Amino acid sequence: MQLFIDSAEVSELRKAAETNLINGCTTNPSLAAKAGKDYNDVLKEICSIIKGPVSAETISLDADGMVKEGVAFSKIAKNIVVKVPMTVEGMKACQRLTKKGVKVNVTLCFSANQALLAAKSGAFFVSPFVGRLDDIGKIGIDVVREIKQVYDNYKFKTQILVASVRNTIHVLDAAKIGADIATMPYSVFEQLFKHTLTDVGIKRFLEDWEKVPKKR
């Protein structure tokens, strides 16, 4: 399973990359606003830190605009993947960008039917937003299970990139279902390392080490 960081904060991405456990990065306009720097500059910097796919989100609402933005993003670095929204225009853009050899991440996906359309449009990634479904009282991860079933049935190559991950349970559930990728905030990635019993165990070993007779 691949782990991506959902962030445009260069300092976080550097720390994450140092673990050698991160396979890619996703960004969006909200994360770019938080980073507070020119989006293209940030993307360039991220692509020099993260060697795997880096998703850059288009903001146009029509296919022509998305294709134009996507082609421009794809020139920033080889590992750029262009995010388009799950709309009719988005699917037209997905098909056109894919034909040009530009990889596409279909974002804002909230149902398996939407994911089916994304796969049929040649998407490289589809991003079901589990946290935002939870927010409205649905079980977000159920949509991931359905997408996995549909994609397995028809052997679609589109990778399932579980997004809007808010906690470690989302990551575990995504892994149990067999999703290809989970993208998460850096804070959630840090949590994956942690267990109280690990901390207690280290403390006890260090205390006992003090009791081991030493020559000097």
- Contacting positions for ligand G3P (CB under 6 A): 6, 26, 28, 129, 131-132, 163-164, 166, 183
From residue 165, alpha-carbon distances to 4, 98, 115, 139, 162 in Å are 11, 26, 17, 13, 7
> Can you give the C-alpha Rg of the chain in angstroms?
20
For residue 99, indicate whether it is catalytic: no
Give the residue with the Cβ less far from ligand G3P, 110 or 129. 129
**Rounded to 5 degrees, what angle do the CA atoms 113, 128, 188 make?**
165
Task: Catalytic residue, from 15, 37, 51, 83: name it.
Answer: 83
Residue 1 Cβ vs ligand G3P, minimum distance, rounded to whole Å: 16
Residue 57 Cβ vs ligand G3P, minimum distance, rounded to whole Å: 8
* Residues 178, 26, 50, 96, CA torsion sign: positive
Q: Which helix (H) or strand (E) holds 49?
A: helix 39-49
Distance, CA of 158 to CA of 104 (rounded, Å): 10
φ, ψ of residue 106 in degrees (nearest 5): -85, 115
Distance, CA of 123 to CA of 117 (rounded, Å): 9
Residue 131 Cβ vs ligand G3P, minimum distance, rounded to whole Å: 5
Distance, CA of 131 to CA of 125 (rounded, Å): 18
Residue 184 Cβ vs ligand G3P, minimum distance, rounded to whole Å: 8
Residue 27 Cβ vs ligand G3P, minimum distance, rounded to whole Å: 7
2-6 and 24-26 strand pairing: parallel
Give the residue with the Cβ less far from ligand G3P, 5 or 93. 5
Give the residue with the Cβ less far from ligand G3P, 129 or 156. 129
SS3 assignment, position 183: strand
Give the residue with the Cβ less far from ligand G3P, 74 or 164. 164
Give the residue with the Cβ less far from ligand G3P, 187 or 198. 187
Q: Which residue is nearest to ligand G3P (CB)?
A: 164
* Catalytic residue annotation: 83
